[in-house]
Structure formats: structure tokens, C-alpha cells
Amino acid sequence: MRFVLASASPARLSVLRSAGIEPLVIVSGVDEDALVDSLGPQAEPESVVTELARAKARDVLPRIAESGHSDAVVVGCDSMLLIDGELQGKPLTVDVARARWKAMAGSHATLLTGHCVIRTENGTVVDEAAECSGTVVHFSTPSDADLEAYLATGEPLQVAGSFTLDSLGGWFVDRIEGDPSSVIGIGLPLVRRLLGRVGVGIAELWRGSPVL
């Protein structure tokens, strides 16, 4: 059975490899902004990230079949930071990232990570499970010089919440309450539970993957 990751995230790929999985990476083409708009402003934050993850997993299904892997589990993921009741995705610009850091420095926020697992057999979807996990992140207050240096690296511009835990941004995270792997991008405990709900054990995936 092939494990398929519907994400271009190098952090997610690194987590999986460290956990003994060498996934087939097929990047989804979901228009995230359009999907969020379609859900409407009243959608619960947990539902937003879960539906984004579901859409990404479903989007790559045709390409899995084309790749010749008829038996597979595909995992879609989405992460957003919840600050004062509002979801924050990738800032994309220095100005937005700077404003977010000014807002969250010395405070805390919840990193929501949605996951969807779809199982296929003989090229047909036979089961699906999706859920969201939340991890509270406590941020330090970086000096102005450190913040500007961090922004200049470009790292916070392309990640949910404008920070990383496993790279340069880790210097500015005091502690977390919850699953560290979900903050990096793919929550191993939640994915394990979702795999169990579609009838797949972790050891089944290890057998076909090198443990790095």
C-alpha cells in the first residue's frame, strides 16, 4: 500500500521520513482562497482547515490512479493559526508577517491542523476520515533587530502563522501545549488515528518504506 502526501511542504515530508515513511508526493492544485470563501464567514475555524485538507486529498486522487498505485492512502493537510478568533494563513509579505508577530509576541495562539486520510483499493475510494487538532503555541518577544532579521530570511512568509517550530522560528517559541509534529505541519498522532479509522496500521506502511 502506497502512502501519498498531497502537499509540497518540505517540513511535512521531513516529519514523515523521520517517522519511517517515504511517501509519494503529489501536490494538490486546490484554490485555497476560493474554497475558504465558499465556506462563508460563519464557518468554524476547525471546519475550515479540515475541509481544506479534505479538498487537497481528493484533488490528487486521479493522479494517484495514473501513477499506477491502485492501493493507497492519501493524506491531505492544512494548517492555520487562530489568533483572537481569526484564522491566519501564510502572510506572503514582510509587512503582514511583521504585523502578525507584533500581535502575537509575548502571547499565545492555537495552531489548527486539519488532516484527511482517504484509502483506495483497486483505484476506488473505499474509506475516508478527517479531523482537526489544535496545539497552543506560546511566543516569546523577539527584539526588533531579531524580528527584522527573521523576516529578512523569508522563512515566515510561506508558513502558517508566520513562524516555524523546527527551523529559525523555533528561537522565538517559548513552549507549546499539544503535539509538536502538528505544529511542524503533519500531526503524527492524529494521522495514526485517522489511518486506524480507515483500517490501516502504521506497521503496514513501515514495511514498504525505509526507516531513515
Residue 212 buriedness (CB in 10 A; 0-12 / 13-18 / 19+): exposed
What value, to the nearest 5°, has the Cα angle with vertex 166 and ends 45 and 10? 80
Please check whether residue 1 is in contact with residue 205, taking contact to mean a CB–CB distance below 8 angstroms: yes
DSSP lists the bridge partners of residue 137 as 109, 176
Cα–Cα distance, 35 to 51 (Å, whole number) = 8
Cα–Cα distance, 66 to 163 (Å, whole number) = 36
The single residue listed with the C-alpha cell 481544506 is 52
Cα–Cα distance, 209 to 95 (Å, whole number) = 42
Q: Grid coordinates in use for 160?
A: 502558517
Q: Grid coordinates in use for 166?
A: 523546527
Please check whether residue 137 is in contact with residue 107, taking contact to mean a CB–CB distance below 8 angstroms: no
Active site residues: 78
**Among candidates 115, 117, 106, 52, which has minimal Cα distance to 83?**
106
